[in-house]
Structure 1
Amino acid sequence: MKAILIEKPEDTQSVSLTDVNEMKLPDGDVLVDVSYSTLNYKDALAITGKAPVVRLFPMVPGIDFTGTVAESNHPDFKPGDRVVHNGWGVGETHWGGLAERARVKGDWLVPLPEGIDLRQAAAIGTAGYTAMLCVLTLERHGITPDKGEIVVSGAAGGVGSVATALLAAKGYAVAAVTGRASETDYLRELGAASVIDRAELTGKVRPLGKERWAGGIDVAGSVVLANMISMMNYRGVVAACGLAAGMDLPASVAPFILRGVTLAGVDSVMCPKSDRLEAWSRLSTDLDMDKLEKMITTVPFSDVIETAPKFLDGMVRGRVVVPIA
């Protein structure tokens, strides 16, 4: 089978699109014929070696894939079933979806909801499913559209694009944050009510800023998240799911004890299956597939390796889908 293979025989990493013996696939009770994979920020880090994402070599990257079950020893799946996979350490410690076949644990798979095809499910991917988890988090904390504007960082990226579309569809006013002014029209098309220059959230963090937003979805971390927290309304909620700007959080406790702000962490990698099923069910009804189409860039399997560095340079908009089959 064809696969992107990351190897590190010595201290230097190498990556290639090559033929791999299918017998080398890792253990699992479901074998999937992969139709589509994706290229995410984490995949880009793995392929370029810019961060120690890969924990086991050789490794096939690709944290997302969709496809059809070829063989199954799992009670929930049978040959011919359409499935989607996101997270669970795949592409880090277990071979991933940038290959013609993948073998994984059936407990890691989600049956594809009606109304979403294999390509659309790949386009949604971990980014879109994470965005839905963030929206659900805001809802569970009582942040409704009437409470005020929702700020979304990294809005032109994968998580941000889907989050903007989902929130707008539910009647929220979205303040979309981006460092690329050229993406303003794109973000408006997704439903953003306003577009904010990222520089407004990268300056010096004050213990308390002016109240601006009822809630937030953050993919950046560091000063961006700290500034976002400082400008939440009373009892505002921030769903944090990323660290593109850094792992630190140079914030004050003031917003938490003086305004009752909530910082809610959102993990999509090891998220329980019940939450995954809820998120995917909501995506099938809440996400405008026409807006999803505006987010998609298709990259041939043969171009994945040369495309990966563009993620790290901030040159990628929305979602990158890789047809495999």
Structure 2
Amino acid sequence: MSPYLAFCIHNADQGQRTRIEPRPRPQPTAGEVLIRVRYSSVNYKDALAGTGRGKILRRFPLVGGIDAAGEVEDSRHPDYQIGEAVIVTGWGLGVDHDGGYAESLCVPGDWLVPMPVGLDARAAMILGTAGFTVALAIHRMQLNGQRPELGPILVTGASGGVGSIAVAILARLGYEVVALSGKPDLHDWLKGLGASRVIGREALAGATRPLEKAEWGGAIDTVGGELLAQVTRTTAPGGTIAAIGLAGGSELHTTVMPFILRGLSLLGCNSVDVPNPLRTELWQRLADDWRPADLDTLLSETARLEGLPAIFERMLNGRTHGRILVEI
């Protein structure tokens, strides 16, 4: 079979380097599926992996990209037939298994989700890993009793890929959304996505006591670090905080007081190895009643493989917003 092009990450004495190169097309073995990739996306984890600034990759060389959507080219799995549209996210994709920045991708069929009615490959990757993680966070918050009447939901890092989708989906579900963003020029855009108001980082800067005035019914935090600690101090009794990101730091300096005296819940959301029944359910919700009204409003740019290194640098320097689609 003819080779395919892939965005490969190599390890060298001078550090990581990337290049687009031809690779031999894999032949699926028992239980595997070969996908013709149509779209992927750029996530913060992709930028860390592609630049080497995060110790993400577990082997070299590796094809980058933690998500992909396309159709089945060849199948050795009984549940998938040639031509069927599919999605794959998580499960080590782009970390210890070749990822979605390639024309072809061979994965275990058990990693796949059939494309739900209401989505196609492009729409699925505008949502991508970011959208799936938001869906997981909201699902867990609701299981924990989070309801719109409990008060506004704070979304930190709201201008990023995860944050912007969180704003849009929460607003669609009837929650009052307060978006926190350090980018004043994007405040109107966030209101267009559904935020009732937008605040800057300085709004929480003074929240240093173990308990501060309760302002949020719950929160989706995409930043971590000191900002997450400030959110714990300002969330109302019975509220739930879903922790998704750690761009602001991995350490959490807080006390047990918000959790004991206010009954707060802090939920960590790992979207990598979600069991397939729940994974399929969440993608169906994203295709149906949780789907943002206009996905293109979340999309800031569409890239090709050759443009990824520059995008990675901009993302890590805080100069991107919304979702970045990768067209293969």
Paired residues of 1:177 and 1:195 also in contact (CA < 8 A): yes
- Counterpart residue identity of residue 86, structure 1: T
1:46 aligns with 2:49: yes
Which residue in 2 is equivalent to 1:112? 115
**Structure 2 alignment gaps of length 5 or more:** none
Paired residues of 2:28 and 2:34 also in contact (CA < 8 A): no
Which residue in 1 is equivalent to 2:142? 139
Which residue in 2 is equivalent to 1:309? 313
1:194 aligns with 2:197: yes
Compute the displacement of 1:161 (Å): 0.8
1:89 aligns with 2:92: yes
Worse-superposed segment, 290-299 or 268-277: 290-299
**Equivalent residues in 2 for 1:70-85 (5 A)?**
70-85=73-88
Which residue in 1 is equivalent to 2:208? 205
Paired residues of 2:15 and 2:52 also in contact (CA < 8 A): no
Q: CA RMSD in A?
A: 1.7
The two structures have a TM-score, normalised by structure 2, of 0.95
Paired residues of 1:37 and 1:122 also in contact (CA < 8 A): yes
Counterpart CA distance in 2 for 1:177 and 1:269 is: 26
Residues 105-149 of structure 1: CA deviation (Å, up to 9, x unaligned)? 111111110011110001100000101111111211111111110
Paired residues of 1:26 and 1:103 also in contact (CA < 8 A): no
Counterpart CA distance in 1 for 2:90 and 2:247 is: 18
- Counterpart residue identity of residue 97, structure 2: H
Paired residues of 1:26 and 1:95 also in contact (CA < 8 A): no
Compute the displacement of 1:22 (Å): 2.1
Paired residues of 2:158 and 2:190 also in contact (CA < 8 A): yes
CA pair 131-26 structure 1, distance change in 2 beyond 3 A? farther
1:236 aligns with 2:239: yes
The two structures have a TM-score, normalised by structure 1, of 0.96
CA pair 303-120 structure 1, distance change in 2 beyond 3 A? same
| 2:218 aligned residue (192, 215, 219) | 215
Counterpart CA distance in 2 for 1:10 and 1:93 is: 20
Residues 79-116 of structure 1: CA deviation (Å, up to 9, x unaligned)? 11100111111111000000000001111111110011
1:266 aligns with 2:269: yes
What percent identity do the matched residue pairs reach?
42
Partner of 1:286, secondary structure, is coil
Paired residues of 2:172 and 2:290 also in contact (CA < 8 A): yes
- Counterpart residue identity of residue 20, structure 2: L
Compute the displacement of 1:17 (Å): 1.4
1:169 aligns with 2:172: yes
Counterpart CA distance in 2 for 1:7 and 1:19 is: 14
Residues 229-257 of structure 1: CA deviation (Å, up to 9, x unaligned)? 11111111101111111110011110011
Counterpart CA distance in 1 for 2:157 and 2:22 is: 36
How many positions carry a matched residue from both structures? 324
Compute the displacement of 1:210 (Å): 0.6
Counterpart CA distance in 1 for 2:127 and 2:274 is: 16
- Counterpart residue identity of residue 281, structure 1: Q
Counterpart CA distance in 1 for 2:133 and 2:108 is: 21
Counterpart CA distance in 2 for 1:26 and 1:250 is: 48
Counterpart CA distance in 1 for 2:80 and 2:193 is: 35
Compute the displacement of 1:11 (Å): 5.1
Paired residues of 2:28 and 2:76 also in contact (CA < 8 A): no
